[in-house]
Amino acid sequence: MKASVYAHFHPDEHRFVDKALEWMERAGQQHAVKLTDFLDPRQQFIVATLAAKDDSVVVRQFGGYDEAERKRAIIAPAYRDPQPEDFAVQVLAVTSDDSRISSLEHGDYMGAILGLGVKREKIGDIHVHDAGGCHTLVAAEIADFFRLQLTQVHRVAVSADILPPDRLVRSAETLEEMTLSVASMRLDGIASDVFRLSRAKVLLPIKAGKCRVNWKAEDDPSTPLREGDIVSMQGFGRFKVLELIGVSKKDRLRVRIGKY
């Protein structure tokens, strides 16, 4: 049975597939309710895909707001109807009287939070505000720990407070746009241009399993990218294929990219 399920997923995902199948077995057979940590979009897809084949369970996902990228999931018996409050998501509001807070970026807040020894899975989306500070979705069970322990972000003294999800102030997604001229839509070629690496150097993280396309591990450099694809490479960043503009007179593809 597992072998047939595994065939649909990358080998790196099999461990998570095992977890998800166990959650569903407990929900369907033992009437247990499982509240997960925050899942990335690929993990959300895996859970939803597996649940679609099991009439005995229901899966609901929520990350503090409907359009959240990272969400917690509830896997429950089919007769249950999970509500938003059941997901135990709260907002960690970080502020400071220090004017330098306006220069802090997403990575600064992420680094400070993870520096407290917390798993990434306990953290949802991070919204950095233009005027300074940020709102971060966090698991309610660890929210007080953040409130008490998060006192500094990149040398800036901060204070933290806990708010309900309906008081979340979201930030607009900003992308650094660039237009590339490429021979093909191959992953290695586009990633090479976006991250300004030689083709030889960009192959190393891809073949080492450090690249994800739409949150799915991808180790084939020749994989073709399409409009809407989101590519992340550990240690280098993330970008989105916004638009295939057209073909130049020299038969090269012009592609619009948004770099996070």
Look up the CATH number of the domain holding residue 224.
3.10.290.10
Q: Of 40, 60, 83, at which residue does a domain stop? A: 83
Residues 212 and 252 in one domain: yes
Residue 133, sorted as left (phi over 0), alpha (psi -120 to 50) or beta, turns out to be left
Between CA 94 and CA 157 the distance in angstroms is 10
Phi-psi domain of 132 (left: phi exceeds 0; alpha: psi -120 through 50; beta: other): left
Last residue of a domain, one of 167, 201, 221: 167
Residue pLDDT, tens place only, 239-250 = 999 999 999 988
pLDDT, residue 1, reads: 58
Q: How far is residue 126's CA from residue 132's CA, in Å, rounded to a whole number?
A: 13
Mean pLDDT, to the nearest integer, of 51-57? 94
pLDDT digits (tens, 9 = 90+) for 67-88: 999 999 999 999 999 999 999 9
In tens, the pLDDT along 145-171 reads 999 999 999 999 999 999 999 999 999
Task: State whether 76 and 100 are in the same domain.
Answer: no
Per-residue pLDDT tens over the stretch 82-131: 999 999 999 999 999 999 999 999 999 999 999 999 999 999 999 999 99
**Percent of the chain whose pLDDT exceeds 70:** 99
Expressed as residue numbers, the domain containing 44 is 2-83
Is the distance from CB of 138 to CB of 146 less than 8 angstroms?
A: yes
Q: Are residue 61 and residue 14 in the same domain, yes or no?
A: yes
Examine the domain organization and report whether 70 and 30 are in the same domain: yes
Boundary residue ending a domain (136, 167, 198): 167
Average of per-residue pLDDT across 177-202: 96
Whether 41 and 61 map to the same domain: the answer is: yes
Question: The CATH number of the domain where 116 resides is what?
Answer: 3.30.70.330
The percent of the chain in helix, strand and coil, each rounded to the nearest 5, is: 35, 30, 35
- Domains of the chain: total: 3
The CATH number of the domain where 66 resides is what?
3.30.1370.160
Residues 107 and 152 in one domain: yes
Whether residue 236 has pLDDT greater than 70: yes
